[in-house]
Chains A and B, each alone.
Chain A
Amino acid sequence: MASVEELREFLPRTDCRRCGLTCTEFAASLGRGELTPEDCPVLHEPDFAGYIEALHELLGPAPAAAPAMHIEVEKCNGCGICVTMCEYHLGNCDEARLGRGPRPADKVVFKVVNGAVVVLHQELCTRLVQAAEKCNKCADHCPTGAITLT
């Protein structure tokens, strides 16, 4: 399963919002299986020929896995508490551990983009790696209840 970052590489990245979302939000929705590459109107333009097929290849033939983490963008106010509390970031991202935003080069589970949290590398989430000890820190500390873990 491709990460949001990889999916985003094959989107227009202009945030035109013709689909109602930013490109990063669209990529996250693609990963969750809520949208298909055809839902992006810009990808149908000649300049982006081949992108839809590339996205389908990235997404794979199998249906997307059940979402482990769901963010309600309407509720999120971008405070970044989840980013700082994340167990993975605690050991792997100094900036997030100290309360600052991750740097662009940092590989993180999620970060705040345009005022809302976007999941970038769900595969890094401690919850998925160590199934025995379920980590709920992001959802537990979210003051607006925007994060749901399944």
Chain B
Amino acid sequence: MCLFKPTGVQGKVEVGQQSVICTGCGCLCDDLDVAMAGGQLLEVSNVCLWGLSRFFPYKRFHPKKERRRILEPLGRLNGRLQGISYGAALEHAAEILGKARRPLIYGLTNTGSWAQEAALQLARNLKARLEPADLAFKAPYYHSVRKHGLYWAPLEVIRDEADTVLFWGANPLHSCPRHLVRYSVFARGRFTERGVEDRQVAAVDLYRTEVAKFCHLFVQVDPGQELHLLKGIREHLQGSPGPGPAVKGTRRLAGFLSKAEFGVIFFGRGAVYNQGLAVLDELGSLAAHLGEKQPFVLFPLASDFNSGGLYHLLFNELGVPEAPDFGHEGGLLTSAAPGDFDEVDAILVVGADLFWFLPEDQGRALQDRQVPVVSLSPFANRTTSCSQVVFPVALVGLEAAEVAYRMDGLPMVLKKLLPTAWPSDREILLDLMKAV
């Protein structure tokens, strides 16, 4: 298409940006072409519906429903959120966080690395607990890595060499739609020149998802059967199947995995819904066993675009990729399990929607206890509607320059494409640090 032609008769398209990085999910696709005119986005090519929500205020997977952009700092006065000045919002937020005995900084997986650094520094200053939004998903994985010492490969190596791909509790078509095409199933790599025809693909899930359409083997399990299935596969691979009935598909999955020359297990949030730590331990054990003979990677399919950056930062700064609690009486305490919010008396939410992810009873308990919430968000969401103070922020990678880590740990520089009146997450966090 002639999106980037110099202005002609129509003369509407002024600027074209090629190879823009998408912040829709952890894939950080770097082949987007953007057409702009007069400081406004016109069209984005090669972007999935998930990434499109980052460029246009459409709801994810509901492109006809628009989200509301927050236009000014909001403060709760007489029970209602009302527009206030940036200085007043900063003062109000600093008062809430400064007075708190057990503050919590939550989220950070959907913001840039510079903002994450500022948030960690703020957590130190406030003696707060910092909890990543996807702690329940990633912490069991890192636990498994430390226990079993797993093989690791970047996405390009997986694209070039992996001939066996298993999705466990993951539906990449919903969490990161272009992952299949760019890296895991359909991409044609150096030693996988025929793409999907050179790969064997299987999936394990509670429901028959769209992934089943191109899977050679789809195993549907009942809730609670995952551990039994994993143990059965390992026993089959070791040549000593245990007594008693095995979960349906055990033998076929064991046969599927044993034929791999370079295998990958992509697991999604479905793997951690039930007994997450044990399931990831078994998955790690299985990958380690398979990895004794040939490369076998266990790979978390992170849907938040900078989840990798946050754990990278925590690992660098604290030595463990877990949630740090700087306010613990005995010194720094790190935790691999999400907190129960019982002690929390103030929450700062950055790059996440806390009340969307919280179980309903926990969310209601927070509201019943009237725990004040300060949130930084470009769009109105459940958390902003329950907040005492709301800061509008610039969209990372579109209105603010940042750094983000792809799901395999590759750092990428996100450029600023459009002018904006809103400050970035990082600027607000630095201002908060000065004000507290």
Chain A positions within 8 Å of B, measured between CB atoms, are 4-5, 8-15, 22, 24, 76-81, 83-85, 95, 97-104, 111-116, 120, 141, 143-144
Contacts and interface: CB of A to CB of B under 8 A. Distances in A.
A8 B186 contact: no
B12 interface: yes
B188 interface: yes
Given A22-B43, A81-B181, A120 B1 contact: yes
Interface in B25-80: 29, 31-33, 37, 42-52, 56, 58, 61, 63
Given A14-B42, A76-B49, A115-B49, 16 more contacts: A9-B8, A24-B43, A77-B173, A78-B52, A79-B181, A85-B195, A98-B188, A98-B189, A99-B188, A101-B32, A102-B46, A104-B3, A111-B1, A114-B52, A141-B186, A143-B173
A13 B33 contact: no
A95 B18 CA distance: 14
B16 interface: yes
Interface of B: 1-4, 8, 10, 12-13, 16, 18, 29, 31-33, 37, 42-52, 56, 58, 61, 63, 159, 173, 177-178, 180-183, 186-189, 195-196, 210-211, 213-214
Given A78-B48, A78-B49, A114-B47, A85 B1 contact: no
A115 B188 CA distance: 22
A79 B48 contact: yes
B1 A115 contact: no
B52 A143 contact: no
Contact of B178 (A9, A76, A80, A97): A80
Contacts, number: 133
Contact of A99 (B4, B51, B183): B183
A37 B2 CA distance: 20
B213 A112 contact: no
Given A5-B2, A22-B43, A85 B49 contact: no
Nearest to B174: A77
B392 to A, nearest CB: 24
A97 B188 contact: yes
Contacts of A104: 1-4, 16, 18, 33, 45
Nearest to A47: B10
Nearest to A121: B1
Contacts of B51: 78, 115
Nearest to A102: B46
Contacts of B3: 104
Given A14-B37, A120-B1, A99 B159 contact: yes
